[in-house]
Each structure stands twice: as C-alpha cells, then as structure tokens.
Amino acid sequence: MARKLGFYGALAFFVYGLFFYWYLFYFADSSLPFEYEGSRADPASFLNDRELMLSEEYSKIRNLLFFISTPFEWIFYLFILLFGLSKAFKKWAEQTAPYKFLQTAIYLIWLSFFAFIATMPLSYISYSLSKTYNISTQSFSGWMKDELIDFWVNYGMMLLLVSVLYWLINKSRKRWWLYAWLLSVPFTLFMMFLQPVVIDPLYNDFYPLKNKELETKILDLASQAKIPAEHVFEVDMAEKTNALNAYVTGIGSNSRIVLWDTTLNKLTEDQILFIMAHEMAHYVEKHIYIGIGGYLLLSLLGLYLTAKLMEKAVDKWGRALKISTVNDIRSLPLFLMILSMLLFISSPLSNLVSRYQETRADRYAIEMTKDSKAAIETFQELTRAGLSQVNPPPLVKIFRYGHPTMLERISMLEEFEMEQRKKERDQTGD
C-alpha cells in the first residue's frame, strides 16, 4: 500500500507539473484583447521590446514555480510519512528528552530541517530567477540570512501552535478543531498587533519618512479621510529588490502605513500620493478587519474539514502512513499536508475577495486625488519594475492575483477619465 500511495502521489505531481508547463508555455494567451490595443493599458505603449520579452519570460517561469511549489510541499509530507521519517523523528525525540514539550520541540526541529533542505532548491531557483531578471538586488548572504530568519520565526510559532494543538487533540478527539479555532482568534489578533513592531524589523529597517514635506502631504490626505495617522514609515528595500510596494500593516495602535524606499526613489510625488490614498482606502473601508473576519471563518471550516479528513486518512491508510492514531505527533505531516491542500483550494475565493477590495481602494484613491494621469503612470511603472504581465492567463489570475490585473486597473482609470470629461461637458452645457 505504501508503495502504491508513493507511486500515485509522484505520478500525480508529475502530471500536474506537466499540465501547468504546457498551459503556461504553450496554451495560455496573455496577449491584449484587440479593443485595448493602443490604449494606455497596452504594454507596448510604455514598455520597450526588450522589456516586453523579459516580462513574458519572467512571468511564465515565476508562475510555473508557484504552481509547482505548493504540491511539492504535499508530496514532501507524503513521503515523510511513507518512508517512516515521521516515526523516526518521534523516536529520536523520545530518546533525547524526558519531557513532552521538549520531545515536541525536537520532533519539530527535525521535520522543519528536512522541509528546509527539501524546499531549498526551489527557493534558490526563485531567488536566482529574480537576480537574473534584475528584480532582486540582494546578495546571496543577505538572501540566506532572510531564509534562516524565516526558518526560526516559523519554527518558534510552529512549536507553540503544535504543542497546543496536540494537547487539545489528546483532550478532545471529537472537538479539538473547535477549541483550536477558538484559541486561534486571540492568537491571530495578537500576531497582527505584533507583526509591525517585532517580526517585520527582523528583516528590514523601518523609520519615519525622511521627506517631511511629502509626509505632510500624505498626512493631509489622511486627515481628509479621517485617519488618525501621525507618521508614515519607509523601509530600506533597495538593497534587496528593484520592485515597488506600499502597504498597510498591523491593527490598533500598532497599525502602520509603509512605503518601500524603491517606491520613493522611482515614483513622482503625485504618484506616491495616489498610492497612499489607495492604502488609506483599506483603513477607511475596514478591509483589514474584514480580511481578519474572513480568514477566521475560513479557518473554522478548514480546521473542521482537516479533522474529518485526518480521521478518514488514518482509518484507511494509517498502516501505510505509519500513523496509528490522530493524536500521535507522527500525524503532524498529514495535518500540514491536508491544511495546505485546503488553503490552495480556497485561494481562488480569498483572491476574489481581495481583488474586489483592491478595486474599491483604486476607485477611492482616484476619487480622492482626481489625478488619473499620475495613477495610470503609477501602474505602468509598477508593471515595468516587477516585469509583470498586464493581462495574465485565467488560471494565474484566479490562483495568484490578490490585486486586479494591470489591464483592469488602468482600464478602470481610463473609464474614470471619460466619466469626468462627460461631467465637465454636462456642466459646461448647463
């Protein structure tokens, strides 16, 4: 049975990878619909021939890496179970430490280490790809430092979560998923509060915006939107990337509006103000809190389904997977595999909600700034800096895009321009 599961798992992964290679490189069409040709959404109007070629090449390879990476995680956890490594990790932990918490810590360090080694080739390929196409400016040592920080931050959180999770499973085999979800609510809010001041500074340096004149204009926008902001933060990203970004993070008193220094260096003041108005829209329309609520609802359903699927998997394939009961720490790879699958399956829905919110934020920003020229040029520059496709293939958009495509964003702005001209004509006519 173990051999059969391994064979079919590997075969499914191979066929899946082959499908997406064919889809992205031979079938998918990212060309612009003819009605948009010559418009400001047409990449040929703001990218040169070399940039057009590079954006297509880079996007295809990057999208293929995305679609391969997630199921690779599933096949990794499956083989950890089938080869008896999860059983071995538990045995080593029990031989090394007398206390349950320490045994969990040792088991988890082995599992995390093997996962780190297994996924390192794909991570390095992604890093190397970004360097080759001049997206990343980060040195190898800097990249490895971030990878190691990731490892230990994830390990620390996993140790806490896994220890509590298996304590709950041992206490209540039927309702552990509900109790785990109830505890996840304050934990999620706490991590959102902690993220800007504890975790993010591990990776980059944050400081108040140096350009005080620009900060004053941004804070004026915030005042118009009734946002009680006192500072705008910039983060040193130029040593890592040429890409542009700005975002809102945190909740409560720890919420921040953050600008990458690459954005400050490459965009004009009007373009930055449009981006800031967009980020403020997320605060005004409470997208962060709506997102937290949606995440918690999905996590409730996800934990319930994970509990049911784990029970069925152990009943049917427990011997092959070398798992006797769900409450055994050896079942952790199965838990992580099922949860990852459910997250992947639900990503089209979460991306759809995110794209709706981002569209709302774009509309809010253009109505606040009234500067469609700066807005369109912002999206054109974002496309150039990230070598992104203006009109990505449908499956890429569904599974990868939490923002509207650049075609949709620029087209919306052009429609806004036409609406404004019509209003002006109507007023003049009156």
Question: Which residues belong to the active site?
Answer: 279, 362
**Measured between alpha carbons, how far is residue 422 from residues 17, 116, 140, 428 in Å?**
50, 57, 54, 10
Does the annotation list 231 as a binding residue? no
Show the tokens assigned to 178.
């509900």
Q: Annotated binding residue at 358? A: yes
Rounded distance between C-alpha atoms, residue 110 and residue 131, angstroms: 31
| CA dist 100 → 81, 155, 159, 329 (Å) | 21, 17, 12, 11
Does the annotation flag 287 for ligand binding? no
Contact 40, 383 (CB under 8 A): no
CB 111 within 8 A of CB 86: yes
Give the per-residue SS3 of the chain.
Answer: CHHHHHHHHHHHHHHHHHHHHHHHHHHCCCCCCHHHCCCCCCHHHCCCHHHHHHHHHHHHHHHHHHHHHHHHHHHHHHHHHHCCHHHHHHHHHHHHCCCHHHHHHHHHHHHHHHHHHHHHHHHHHHHHHHHHCCCECCCHHHHHHHHHHHHHHHHHHHHHHHHHHHHHHHHCCCCHHHHHHHHHHHHHHHHHHHHHHHHHHHCCCEEECCCHHHHHHHHHHHHHCCCCCCCCEEECCCCCECCCCEEEECCHHHCEEEEEHHHHHHCCHHHHHHHHHHHHHHHHCCHHHHHHHHHHHHHHHHHHHHHHHHHHHHHHHHHHHCCCCCCCHHHHHHHHHHHHHHHHHHHHHHHHHHHHHHHHHHHHHHHHHCCHHHHHHHHHHHHHHHCCCCCCCHHHHHHHCCCCCHHHHHHHHHHHHHHHHHHHHHHHHC
Please state the residue numbers annotated as binding site.
Answer: 278, 282, 358
Please state the residue numbers annotated as binding site for Zn(2+).
Answer: 278, 282, 358
